[in-house]
Amino acid sequence: MKRIVIIVSFLGLLASCDLFTPRVEIKFDQETFDTQRQLWQSSNIKNYSYRLRAVGFLNYDGTIIVENGEYRENLPSEGSDEFSGYFMRYSSIDEIYDWIELEFTSNNNKKPDPGHYLEEILVVYDEALHIPVEVHDIYHVSPGVSITGTFDYYIDDFKVGR
């Protein structure tokens, strides 16, 4: 009898420990990401500008200006949402790379939210400049669940110097 109580207690402990909880393996090309990031960093470009278009619940369309590797200012197009803290993760090419890495590492191999979870991070790179030119956060969304956010980012019109 004592053996049965121990076995049942052990099984109950295992069931409560998340050992059987499925984890999300986010689809992401880490090798290409690391290579492109390293090539970007080795270019040592510190003064540049680019157009950022963020499409989703919050929208931004404007020019980001970077001096000495740091965000200096943005010039939004007319009708664009304000460049707030939400878009600061896209305030320089280095910040974009940092954000993508954080998004991947903080979500990969984690227990998913039952209604929605990040399924894939799709990044398209400029072959010459080694910068992300498209970033897409692709979510699994259960039927009947709605999520809002900005999941598509486009970077173009990159100019060295300012």
- Per-residue pLDDT tens for 40-98? 999 999 999 999 999 888 889 999 999 999 999 998 988 887 777 778 899 999 999 99
Q: What's the whole-number mean pLDDT along residues 112-133?
A: 91
What is the phi/psi pair of residue 40, to 5°? Answer: -60, -50
Decide if pLDDT at 133 tops 90: yes
pLDDT, tens digit, 9 for 90 and up, residues 10-33: 545 444 444 556 777 899 999 999
Question: Are 46 and 68 contacting, i.e. CB atoms less than 8 angstroms apart?
Answer: yes
Query: What is the spatial distance between Cα 103 and Cα 105, in angstroms, rounded to a whole number?
Result: 6
| pLDDT score of 1 | 62
Nearest to 90 by CA among 78, 102, 79: 102
* pTM for this model (two decimals): 0.82
Length, in residues, of the chain: 162
Query: Where do we find the tokens 């001096």?
Result: 67
